[in-house]
């Protein structure tokens, strides 16, 4: 009786808290089998998808690849999950998990026959290392659902293995009866009627590294194709879409983005397909992807003929040349080589005059997200005013699925409805639906005026309040990339709905020169104006000197000093350090990595 009660309680509260140090195998109706069979490994190489990725280098499929040196790693937040598609409904006997350094302290194992309705078959607390979880249940999908992590890093799994009953052996079909000693003519006459015309098989001729892939298209009604429909079209089974997602996960698309939500595709994206995919519209060749700007002009093309990059699935006929190809290619190649050298000289001359060309306009990113955040902040202000509470200081804002979370500068409790307080009091969260329908305040949004939208992390959008740094913020990386990030930051600081339109001063050479900002040659020209008051944004082209660092430190020590100071390049005195990469990622070490180039950016008026 006591055991039944404990199990029921674990099932009741397992969605949010999985039982402290307790571990339980949740019993369901026994699965009846004809005879006992030895469980076999079912999960290796099967499609796997996850709630999030720390980086594209740690995709979900690496948790089922059989390689103990590769792993899946999630974003740095809770909850997280990893799901494996076994390909068929079967009886699961055991799940084994090899955790990396960061593991789940409270998690459960769930089974599902359709990927929608889940049953919990094990729930408990993890302590890292290797977990062997015995259970007995039926399902096609197996999911590890983590409610809490062991530290600040994400969940990380070397291998997740699912053991169960082996697939049934195919029953041999009886041979059709035939008359004794049939003649060839008789065989032809009694041959069965033609079967359904098979779908075309992809032509597998192409250069090394070629794969079967499909380019997403728009539908006639101006919508976008769905992943399950593509799966049904080319694999004959709409439930095999996780295989496509797993193969495509981590591949950077031609527009620079990644497939992170299988429900959302974009026309022109490339989906890598399983080897057995067939049908008109598939391609076979090297998987197309993102082609970033070249750092320097191309010097010379290859003088050898290039093999066909892509072969149509329906089959492409080889083309032969009846003219001498090599001499022509040599002449053309020589001309291109000479032209490339001329372009290189011109480029080097221009580079001496200007370090690197860039667009000077300020960018305002993702206006729809800005409206969502602004509405949420105003509902927060109205709720605090209603309950007589002080508006909490906010370090960051995170849009995670259907909820918005505030990271507070100091723990605060209680929170006004509809906000919920985390256990440590450091975060407040609320459903976006309630925030969009709640009463909004008309008061100025001054407390959030330095909030900046950094980009998209693996779990959602990340915004941070630059005023909380209370020191220099450095932005490092290639010149072109950090200029783009800077333009986005300044567009946010001056054009977001919660901005107070601050004064922006740029000091030094080699900086973008938008019309909306002031440009000075030396920091000495602005020193008298770095006083308390309305504040502003100061951008320096290089790290301040030791004396200037001391001066800025003294200014930041005054709580009424509200300037934001950004340095392009490395700065030893920086409190926050960001690095922007050519791959579109912005990294800091204290926030989740974000893709700044995934946001849609628009120029501010007047450019």
pLDDT in tens, 563-607: 999 999 988 889 999 999 988 899 988 888 998 865 544 444 433
Final residue in a domain of this structure, among 261, 285, 309: 285
In this structure, is residue 290 part of a structural domain?
no
Q: What does pLDDT average to over the chain?
A: 78
> Mapping DSSP to helix (H, G, I), strand (E, B) and coil, where does residue 563 land?
coil
Does residue 283 register a pLDDT over 80?
yes
* 525 shares its domain with 384: yes
In this structure, is residue 356 part of a structural domain?
no
* 216 shares its domain with 157: no
| Nearest alpha-carbon partner for 401 in 378, 373, 431 | 431
* 245 shares its domain with 121: no
> CA 539 to CA 568: how far, in whole Å?
8
pLDDT score recorded for residue 8 = 45
> CA 44 to CA 367: how far, in whole Å?
43
Q: Rounded to two decimals, what is the model's pTM?
A: 0.44
pLDDT score recorded for residue 331 = 65
* 124 shares its domain with 238: no
User: 């950094």: which residue's tokens?
Assistant: 454
In this structure, is residue 327 part of a structural domain?
no
Does residue 512 register a pLDDT over 80?
no
In this structure, is residue 174 part of a structural domain?
no
* 136 shares its domain with 277: no
pLDDT score recorded for residue 16 = 42
pLDDT score recorded for residue 20 = 40
* 134 shares its domain with 18: yes
Question: What is the mean predicted confidence (pLDDT) over 515-519?
Answer: 74
* 232 shares its domain with 101: no
pLDDT score recorded for residue 356 = 39
pLDDT in tens, 58-69: 889 999 999 988
Residue 172's pLDDT band (cuts 50, 70, 90): low
| Nearest alpha-carbon partner for 312 in 200, 228, 397 | 200
Provide the percentage of residues in the chain whose pLDDT is more than 90: 31
Does residue 514 register a pLDDT over 80?
no
In this structure, is residue 587 part of a structural domain?
yes
* 144 shares its domain with 237: no
Question: What is the mean predicted confidence (pLDDT) over 196-203?
Answer: 55
In this structure, is residue 326 part of a structural domain?
no
Residues near 331 by Cβ (< 8 Å), separated by ≥ 6?
Answer: none
pLDDT in tens, 310-368: 444 444 334 334 445 556 666 666 777 777 776 766 655 555 444 433 444 445 554 56
pLDDT higher at 495 or 345: 495
* 152 shares its domain with 251: no
In this structure, is residue 229 part of a structural domain?
yes
For the chain, the domain total comes to: 3
| SS3 per residue for 41-109 | ECCCCCCEEECCCCCCCCCHHHHCCCCCCCCEECCCCCCEEEEEEEEEEEEEEEEEEEECCCCEEEEEE
Tell me the residue ranges of DSSP E strands in 286-393: 311-312, 363-365
pLDDT score recorded for residue 200 = 53
* 585 shares its domain with 454: yes
In this structure, is residue 188 part of a structural domain?
no
CB hemisphere CA count around 3 (13 angstroms): 5
Final residue in a domain of this structure, among 164, 196, 225: 164
Final residue in a domain of this structure, among 256, 285, 314: 285
* 439 shares its domain with 582: yes
Question: What is the mean predicted confidence (pLDDT) over 413-435?
Answer: 92
* Domain around 72: 2-164
pLDDT score recorded for residue 422 = 92
* 97 shares its domain with 219: no
The CATH number of whichever domain residue 148 belongs to comes to 2.60.120.260
Question: What is the mean predicted confidence (pLDDT) over 512-537?
Answer: 75
pLDDT score recorded for residue 513 = 62
């Amino acid at each position: 009786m006591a055991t039944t009660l404990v199990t029921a309680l674990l099932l009741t509260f397992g969605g949010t808290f999985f039982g402290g140090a307790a571990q339980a195998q949740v019993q369901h109706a026994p699965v009846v089998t004809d005879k006992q069979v030895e469980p076999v490994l079912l999960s290796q190489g099967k499609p796997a998808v996850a709630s999030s990725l720390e980086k594209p280098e740690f995709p979900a499929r690496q948790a089922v690849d059989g390689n103990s040196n590769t792993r899946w790693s999630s974003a740095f937040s809770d909850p997280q999950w990893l799901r494996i598609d076994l390909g068929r409904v079967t009886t699961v006997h055991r799940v084994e998990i090899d955790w990396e350094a960061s593991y789940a302290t409270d998690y459960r194992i769930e089974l599902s026959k359709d990927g929608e309705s889940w049953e919990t078959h094990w729930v408990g607390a993890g302590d890292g290392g290797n977990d062997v979880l015995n259970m007995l249940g039926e399902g096609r999908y197996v999911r590890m659902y983590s409610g809490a992590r062991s530290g600040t890093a994400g969940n990380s799994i070397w291998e997740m293995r699912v053991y169960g009953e082996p697939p049934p052996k195919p029953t041999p079909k009886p041979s059709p009866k035939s008359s004794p000693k049939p003649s060839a003519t008789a065989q032809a006459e009694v041959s069965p009627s033609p079967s359904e015309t098979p779908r075309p098989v992809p032509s597998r001729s192409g250069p090394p590294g070629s794969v079967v892939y499909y380019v997403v298209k728009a539908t006639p009604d101006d919508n976008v194709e769905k992943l399950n429909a593509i799966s049904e079209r080319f694999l004959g089974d709409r439930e095999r879409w996780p295989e496509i997602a797993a193969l495509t996960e981590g591949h950077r698309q031609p527009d620079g983005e990644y497939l992170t939500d299988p429900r959302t595709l974009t026309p022109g994206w490339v989906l890598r397909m399983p080897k057995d995919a067939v049908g008109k519209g598939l391609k076979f060749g090297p998987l197309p992807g993102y082609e970033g700007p070249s750092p320097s002009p191309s010097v010379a093309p290859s003088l050898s003929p290039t093999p066909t990059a892509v072969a149509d699935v329906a089959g492409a006929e080889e083309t032969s040349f009846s003219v001498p190809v090599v001499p022509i290619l040599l002449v053309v190649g020589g001309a291109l080589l000479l032209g490339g050298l001329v372009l290189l000289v011109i480029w080097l001359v221009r580079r001496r005059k200007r370090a690197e060309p860039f667009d000077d306009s300020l960018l305002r990113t993702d206006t729809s997200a800005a409206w969502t955040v602004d509405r949420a902040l105003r509902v927060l202000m109205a709720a605090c005013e209603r309950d007589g509470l002080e508006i909490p200081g906010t370090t960051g804002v995170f849009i995670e699925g259907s909820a918005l979370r505030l990271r507070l500068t100091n723990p605060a409790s209680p929170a006004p409805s509809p906000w919920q307080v985390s256990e440590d009091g450091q975060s407040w969260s609320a459903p976006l639906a309630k925030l969009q329908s709640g009463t909004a305040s008309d008061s100025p949004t001054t407390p959030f005026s330095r909030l900046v939208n950094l980009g998209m992390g693996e779990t959602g959008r990340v915004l941070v309040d630059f005023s909380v740094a209370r020191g220099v913020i450095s932005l490092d990386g290639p010149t072109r990339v950090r200029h783009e990030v800077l333009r986005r930051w300044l567009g946010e600081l001056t054009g977001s709905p919660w901005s107070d339109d601050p004064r922006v001063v740029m000091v030094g050479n080699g900086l973008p020169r938008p019309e909306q900002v002031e440009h000075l040659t030396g920091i000495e020209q602005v020193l008298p104006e770095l006083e308390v008051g309305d504040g502003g944004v100061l951008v320096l082209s290089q790290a301040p000197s030791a004396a200037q660092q001391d001066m800025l430190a003294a200014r930041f020590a005054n709580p009424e000093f509200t300037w934001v100071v950004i340095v392009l390049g490395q700065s030893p005195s920086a409190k926050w350090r960001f690095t922007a990469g050519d791959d579109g990622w912005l990294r800091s070490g204290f926030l989740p990595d974000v893709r700044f180039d995934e946001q849609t950016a628009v120029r501010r008026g007047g450019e």
